[in-house]
Structures are given as C-alpha cells and as structure tokens.
Amino acid sequence: MTKTTSAFDSFRQAYLLMAPFYRPAAPGDGMGHVSLTPAERRDRNRLERESAEYAARFIAEEDTCKFVIGCSDHRTNRAFMWTIEAARLLAGGDGGNRPAVKLLRMALKEAQAASRVLA
C-alpha cells in the first residue's frame, strides 16, 4: 500500500466517522447545513462517494500545503486559533503531539463555553 493510498483510506474513514453529525462534502450551504432528503442521508452509496471525494480533495489540499478554512467567528476566535495551531503542530510530527492535545483541549473548552452561551 502506498503512502497516498494509505492517506486516502485514512481520510475517507475519518469522513465516515464524522458523517453522522457533519458532512462537509454533501450538498449544502457551506455553513454546515446539508441539503439532502432523509433517504439521501441514509444512502450508503452516496456516503461512500462523498467520503472518497472528500479524501481526494483533502489530499489535494495537503499536497499544496494550503487549506481554505474561512474566517473566525468572534465568539470562538480563540478556539479557532488554538485549533489551527494544533493542526500545525500535528503536521510537524511526534514532537508536537503533546502541545497539540493541550491546545485542542483548550479549544474544546472554549467552544463548549460558546455553545452554552448560544443555546
């Protein structure tokens, strides 16, 4: 198995794991709303195609070292920044894993606090 195939499978599987609550490759408004009927949401073939398309697109972005993610929301801008910094650390390998986990925990706590305010 090549590195690219391995990454493709890993990203495709990651998409399938997040699909129950977040499907960024599904048709929608680009802000998290998915424009699928209930039957389309349950269609396993559709989901498999989505996951493959997402994995291919993610690898293409990774190959250019450029990810388009948008701008921060003022309510969660610290969580946004910490998540990006954690991603940078994770891209650097094992040496950055511990601080990345700490940043992700901080980001999670911040996002959860913002969610409580929004609820």
Closest CA to 108 of 79, 84, 81: 79
d(CA 78, CA 74): 8
Domain ranges in the chain are: 3-64, 77-118
Instruction: Please tell me the predicted confidence (pLDDT) of residue 38.
Output: 92
Q: How many CB atoms lie within 10 A of CB 3?
A: 7
pLDDT band at 14 (very low <50, low <70, confident <90, very high): very high
Instruction: Please tell me the predicted confidence (pLDDT) of residue 31.
Output: 73
pTM of the model: 0.80
Q: How many CB atoms lie within 10 A of CB 53?
A: 14
Instruction: Please tell me the predicted confidence (pLDDT) of residue 96.
Output: 73
Closest CA to 63 of 104, 8, 14, 22: 8
- Helices 97-118 and 77-91 pack at an angle, to 10 degrees, of 160
pLDDT at 48 exceeding the cut of 60: yes
pLDDT at 119 exceeding the cut of 70: no
Q: Is 34 exposed, middle or buried (0-12, 13-18, 19+ CB in 10 A)?
A: middle
Instruction: Please tell me the predicted confidence (pLDDT) of residue 35.
Output: 92
